[in-house]
Chains A and B, each alone.
Chain A
Amino acid sequence: MFNRNRANQEEALDRIGRALVRAAARAGEAEAERVAAEPYLFTRVRARIAERQRAGDESGLLFLALFRRTVPIMALATILALMLLWFGDGSVTGTAFSDEVLLGTNQSTAERLLFSERRAISNDEVLATILARDDRSGNNR
């Protein structure tokens, strides 16, 4: 009974929904007919086509102009980079990629002393530190 009522209700909603969709779609029919009968419609379409063509030509020209300017600059930059690489070759390998830098053997004595003191703290040391702090706080109370 309940299902039948629900089905009827949905059917009614679908029916009125269809009618409303058709009503909305037909509401513009008369206006559409009037617009279609306008005398200068094609002139406006032609104007729009011409405008698009012009815009397309302009963007093409803009791209060409940009291309003409950027290509020589890029070429010059590439030549410069190649020249730098070619002529500055020896000096770069001499310092930047030496074994001393990679292995760290070029460190000064002070640095070596500093890093020789650096080592990981063991678990026993951590425990001892905690216990000592607890003892101190217990004594203070």
Chain B
Amino acid sequence: MDEANETKTVDASAAQPAVCSDATLAARACAGDEAAFEELFSRHRRRVALIAGRFFRRREQIEEIIQESFTKAYFALKDFVNAQEQSFAAWIARIAFNTCYDELRRAARRPENALSEPSDEEADWLRERAFVAGPEHDVEANAIARDLAEKLLSRLSPEDRLLLVMLEVEGMSVAEIAAITRWSPSKVKVRAHRARLALRRALKRLL
């Protein structure tokens, strides 16, 4: 009877996979364990996809960012395992943001990616709402806002766009942005100020 119970317990523990930490999985993946890397991928793919979605709307662009981020992560695993300074989530987020930044810079160099000017309808829509202090979700809910936002943001430099998304959407602190971009905190502050000015100028031109 006791033996039967013991066997059952052993079977149950064998059936339930042990939950490994990200650091352990990273160390195993670094040693060549592909299953460990797949597990890391499964845990963090959504976060990386959402970061890509902050900058790109097309499916193939988002997929490209995911693939490139995890490929870079795979080849840099040794650095992560040796450093052990931060969580894997923060580390992969940093890689994803940097990959997005590289892609934004590449896209800015391609003239075929230049978006069209905002239409009259969009400009009128903006004028109507610009000086009415309403809840922000009214603006966000509208499809016009999204197209217009995309056109306006395409006029900003990749650096400005990256900073504005990190500050306004991700709600990151200056220190966090400095850690991701490897810029000094004072440089982040100056760039953030310039990014806001650039956005204000782009809006002013429309109004």
Residues of A within 8 A of B (CB): 9-10, 12-29, 31-36, 38, 41-42, 44-46, 48-49, 52
CB-CB < 8 A to A26: which residues of B? Answer: 140, 169
Distance to closest chain B CB from A42 (angstroms): 5
Check A12 against B130 for contact (C-beta < 8 Å): yes
With an 8 Å Cβ cutoff, the count of chain B residues facing the other chain is 52
Partner among B45, B57, B148 whose Cβ is within 8 Å of the Cβ of A28: B57
Check B67 against A29 for contact (C-beta < 8 Å): no
Q: Is B6 at the interface (CB under 8 A from chain A)?
A: no
Q: Is B27 at the interface (CB under 8 A from chain A)?
A: no
Chain A at the B interface: SS class: helix
Q: Which residue of A lies closest to B141 (CB)?
A: A23
What's the Cα separation between A16 and B144 when bound, in Å?
13
Distance to closest chain A CB from B184 (angstroms): 24
Check B140 against A36 for contact (C-beta < 8 Å): no
Q: Is B104 at the interface (CB under 8 A from chain A)?
A: no
Interface segment, one of B17-25, B47-55, B81-89, B175-183: B47-55
Given contacts A14-B200, A33-B46, A52-B71, contact A23 B62 (CB under 8 A): no
Given contacts A24-B150, A36-B49, contact A31 B59 (CB under 8 A): yes
What's the Cα separation between A28 and B52 when bound, in Å?
8
CB-CB < 8 A to B70: which residues of A? Answer: 45
Residues of B within 8 A of A (CB): 34, 38, 41-42, 45-46, 48-50, 52-59, 62-63, 66-68, 70-71, 74-75, 126, 129-131, 133, 136, 139-140, 142, 145-146, 148-150, 152-153, 164-165, 168-169, 196, 199-200, 203-204, 207
29 A-B residue pairs with Cβ-Cβ distance under 8 Å, sorted by A, are: A13-B204, A15-B133, A18-B136, A19-B140, A20-B149, A20-B152, A20-B153, A23-B142, A23-B145, A26-B140, A27-B146, A28-B62, A31-B53, A32-B52, A32-B62, A33-B46, A33-B53, A41-B66, A42-B38, A42-B42, A42-B45, A44-B63, A45-B41, A45-B70, A45-B71, A46-B34, A48-B67, A48-B71, A49-B74
What's the Cα separation between A105 and B66 when bound, in Å?
80
Given contacts A22-B168, A23-B145, A52-B75, contact A16 B203 (CB under 8 A): yes
Check B52 against A25 for contact (C-beta < 8 Å): no
Distance to closest chain B CB from A83 (angstroms): 48
CB-CB < 8 A to A32: which residues of B? Answer: 49-50, 52-53, 62
What's the Cα separation between A127 and B153 when bound, in Å?
74
Given contacts A13-B203, A32-B53, contact A19 B139 (CB under 8 A): yes
Partner among B41, B57, B68, B130 whose Cβ is within 8 Å of the Cβ of A16: B130
Check A24 against B71 for contact (C-beta < 8 Å): no
Partner among B66, B136, B203 whose Cβ is within 8 Å of the Cβ of A35: B66
Check A28 against B55 for contact (C-beta < 8 Å): yes
Give 14 A-B pairs besides A23-B139, A45-B74 with Cβ atoms closer than 8 angstroms. A12-B133, A13-B200, A16-B139, A19-B139, A20-B148, A28-B57, A29-B50, A32-B62, A33-B49, A35-B63, A36-B45, A36-B48, A44-B67, A49-B71
Check B149 against A21 for contact (C-beta < 8 Å): yes
Check B153 against A24 for contact (C-beta < 8 Å): yes
Distance to closest chain B CB from A92 (angstroms): 55
